[in-house]
Amino acid sequence: MQLIEGDCLAVLPQLAAESVDVVVTSPPYNIGLGYSRYHDRRSEAEYLDWMVQVAGEVRRVMRPDASFFLNISGSSNEPWLPFELIVRLRPLFTLQNHIAWVKSIAVGDDTVGHFKPVAGARFLHQAHEHLFHLTLDGQVKLDRLSVGVPYKDKSNIARRGHAQDKRCRGNTWFIPYDTIQRKAQKFHHPGTFPVELPRWCIRLHGKAGALVLDPFMGTGTTLVAAGIEGCDGIGIEMDPAYVATARERLA
């Protein structure tokens, strides 16, 4: 694993072109989260221009058959931002899949998972985030059954000629956070995601021994996932404290 401390816009141009198989990242959302080295409140125009510039560098390092999984969310007051960004990225990528990462769900009278409550009476709680699967041409073949689920109706297996008791999960992924009591359990980072999220992305891309990149590495969750999945990784992060935490987690 290669951990690089620095600004991704300075580091990405140093990486070899067409060298990366899978990109999984969650950039700052521009909603005012409390990062220690990054100001998460730019103007919308400045933020979008910045992200398009980062995405252009990401595109350069992607192999022709690579996958770019971009996790992002808006806020109740600024819900348009993820969609504004994905439209701006249209000249660079094809949006091959749009996955809803469900963090909490209510089925009947039962609820599973966790969310951050929204105060007031105008908005519903934010229980999901966007996971945009971007490719260069929209033709990347995926290993859909690697994150598949068993059939509910087992007669479908033989009746439809399936080789195993597994079907495509679809584009809604329920991956809840673990319950935590202290910020230290999130490595003192305001925007972590569960390790299962990048693991499923890497599996879905379906290339053994892939080179995985996270240009906004944070505390290293994507690289931890890459290691578990038997892949190599490159992580870029500007905050030395987060880089140190990522090294500890990987060790």
pLDDT tens-place string over residues 146-174:
999 998 888 888 888 888 888 899 999 99
pLDDT at 185: 47
pLDDT at 197 > cutoff 50: yes
Domain 2-250 CATH (choose: 3.90.76.10, 3.30.420.40, 3.30.43.10, 3.40.50.150): 3.40.50.150
Instruction: Find the mean pLDDT for residues 94-104.
Output: 96
Residues 11-23 have pLDDT tens digits of: 999 999 999 999 9
Any idea where the domains of the chain sit in the sequence? Answer: 2-250
For residue 31, pLDDT over 60 is answered with yes
Q: What share of the chain is helix, strand, coil (3-state, %, to 5)?
A: 30, 25, 45
pTM assigned to the model: 0.91
Say how far apart CA 84 and CA 96 lie, in whole Å.
17
Range with top average pLDDT, 75-84, 185-194, 199-208: 199-208
Q: Is the pLDDT of residue 127 over 80?
A: yes
Q: What is the DSSP letter of 230?
A: T
More confident: 184 or 65: 65
CA distances in angstroms from 122 to 62, 76, 102, 119, 235, listed in the order given = 41, 9, 21, 8, 39
